[in-house]
Structure 1
């Protein structure tokens, strides 16, 4: 009897607690899928939120709302006063920053989102050419939900390795790390489309420069491994022996997919920081124009050497640019700090050292001869 009474007490407790819990019925809330930040008037924060509302018939409606306040939480309160449904941020997938704001300082926005338990560490972060609000509020002919569209745009380009990944977790790691700076994709509106247009380079929490979108490949093979992406490069005529070409040409275009890449950074001189950067790429060449005899080992070897020379030159150029603006997005400082005992490295100290750093770039490019060419 006592056991039965105890079970009833437990059941009643569960029912009581369940009744006290706050529930969020889908048709009573607005789901924020994307937030864009710009500099507002009188130093306020201008927040543009893309909010999906679902009615009882499970038909959805997308609202794009801009508010200005002193804090991001104040902007959410302002938005709630303008909507009939409570705004929830648990479904947020992307955070965008206007270009002017990114150049000013993102410290507050990074800390605020990291401290918010409702915000997933897996959300993407990116910079917008110009301001975020006009990009989000434009009425696109073929885009129903601009929040979901931008999320899928970034997600599929990251998965196919056309663009670097910049989740909140990754950004936080690079931001707080001594010896590495953060980088984000850049978006812009192109008529009725939204496209990825480049890579934003940061020094601390301030954007200091950009790279064109084609350079994201070089950034990625230095920062990370490359496994599934497709890339196209143009070789200079003098770098490819004319005898291997089927016909004369001023330039040679090569498209390849990087089946596997691996990079290794070694510190060889700590006094004046000098590194050896070794990049190994095993790839399948998909297309060469003008064509070469890919069945001839000597022609394939010559093509490999030409690609190695081209990639070494481009990687060196991108690293040199990052040094000019003191943005170590590659993490050479992390390698220096882990290799030099008692270095007492700080962000400020490394940024000064980074400008004079020397990197010896070596690329080993191997064409996989599996007999399959597209």
Structure 2
């Protein structure tokens, strides 16, 4: 009898502990799959917070993904999340939220308040993606692509590159965005999402300083950034000859640079090597002088890279991490950073590009 009483007593003692641990069954949770933060439209202080919630469905087929979008305005992000709990009948769970989106207006003003909430919230994944919504995050989250199999699948495939592989799309993780915001010598970047019908388009990159958005770059410059920073081989390089555009599909790419001092000036020397086959070219390219074609590519690509470097330099930001490289190769003292702040606005660029044509494709 005593052997039976002891387990029963232990079970009775454990019941109060399990009932107060805050556990919720899966059918009593709303999984947040994307979150958007905008400036209030009426000029008031605070934030307009939008959550995209997944509605469970037994079907997994194109168009079967169901979502519920809720939005509210509050003086802080934490207060907005608490208020949104009063608009739904289930507990909000951020454990599956893979996209955090800033409205363009908020990004141009100040994005530091969002980072304070993201870095402290314990159920936010550090490997979630960050982006900027144009013109605002709410309008982007309200889009429901007709071919979406389950909630949020379209954005997840685009950023995760499990589906499309685009050189115009540069995924940015939460942990990397926070690191770039706090680290001296490298500044944050974010992809810009805009609506096109009932789908998304991501071709441009936003350049930010430590607090706000300061510049955006074109799709071509975004591809160049991806090639230099990430050595993206799923890309192309182009050149124009006699009015005809020639495009090479990149098979292999490598880039490296160093900062040297020459003739009393600091110079950044970049070496970019590219090889691939023609994807688009006029007929007769097979008989042309490939050495001259390669030289044409070298000159035009180097010119475009220099324009991009000068653009970010003029904007006063460093998305490539040149300053971080300078700090890493010089004495670790406060004076090193002061020297770089003086050097960067006047830094010269020496670009060397070497393109190797491997073939002309299926036809001559």
TM-score calculated relative to the size of structure 2 = 0.85
Tell me the residue number matched to 1:306. 296
Partners of 1:193 and 1:348 lie apart in 2 by: 46
Q: Relative to structure 2, which stretch is displaced further, 203-212 or 152-161?
A: 152-161
Tell me the residue number matched to 1:236. 240
Q: Secondary structure at the match of 1:252?
A: strand
State the shift of 1:364 in Å.
1.7
Pairwise mapping of residues 205-244 of structure 1 onto structure 2 (< 5 A)? 205-227=211-233, 229-233=234-238, 235-237=239-241
State the shift of 1:351 in Å.
5.1
Matched, 1:284 2:276: yes
Partners of 1:236 and 1:191 lie apart in 2 by: 33
Q: Deviations over 1:197-229 (max 9, x none)?
A: 3100011121001011222121122222223x0
Tell me the residue number matched to 1:165. 171
Q: Deviations over 1:221-255 (max 9, x none)?
A: 2222223x03252x232xxxxxxxxxxx5223213
Partners of 2:285 and 2:21 lie apart in 1 by: 71
Partners of 2:7 and 2:279 lie apart in 1 by: 73
Partners of 1:346 and 1:140 lie apart in 2 by: 50
Tell me the residue number matched to 1:260. 252
Partners of 2:223 and 2:213 lie apart in 1 by: 20
Q: Deviations over 1:142-177 (max 9, x none)?
A: 557673322322322885443222111221222221
Change (3 A) 1:146 1:22: closer
State the shift of 1:55 in Å.
7.3
Contact 1:263 / 1:280 at 8 angstroms: preserved in 2? yes
Change (3 A) 1:61 1:372: closer
Partners of 1:164 and 1:344 lie apart in 2 by: 32
> Which 5+ residue runs of structure 2 have no aligned equivalent?
none
Partners of 1:93 and 1:104 lie apart in 2 by: 24
Matched, 1:130 2:135: yes
Q: Relative to structure 2, which stretch is displaced further, 59-68 or 94-103?
A: 59-68
Contact 2:143 / 2:199 at 8 angstroms: preserved in 1? no
**How many residues align structurally?**
351
Partners of 2:301 and 2:88 lie apart in 1 by: 53
Partners of 1:367 and 1:358 lie apart in 2 by: 29
Q: Relative to structure 2, which stretch is displaced further, 137-146 or 87-96?
A: 137-146
Tell me the residue number matched to 1:51. 53
What is the Cα-based RMSD across aligned positions, in Å?
3.3
Tell me the residue number matched to 2:27. 27
Q: Secondary structure at the match of 2:51?
A: strand
Q: Secondary structure at the match of 1:112?
A: helix
> Which 5+ residue runs of structure 1 have no aligned equivalent?
238-248
Partners of 2:339 and 2:330 lie apart in 1 by: 14
State the shift of 1:343 in Å.
5.2
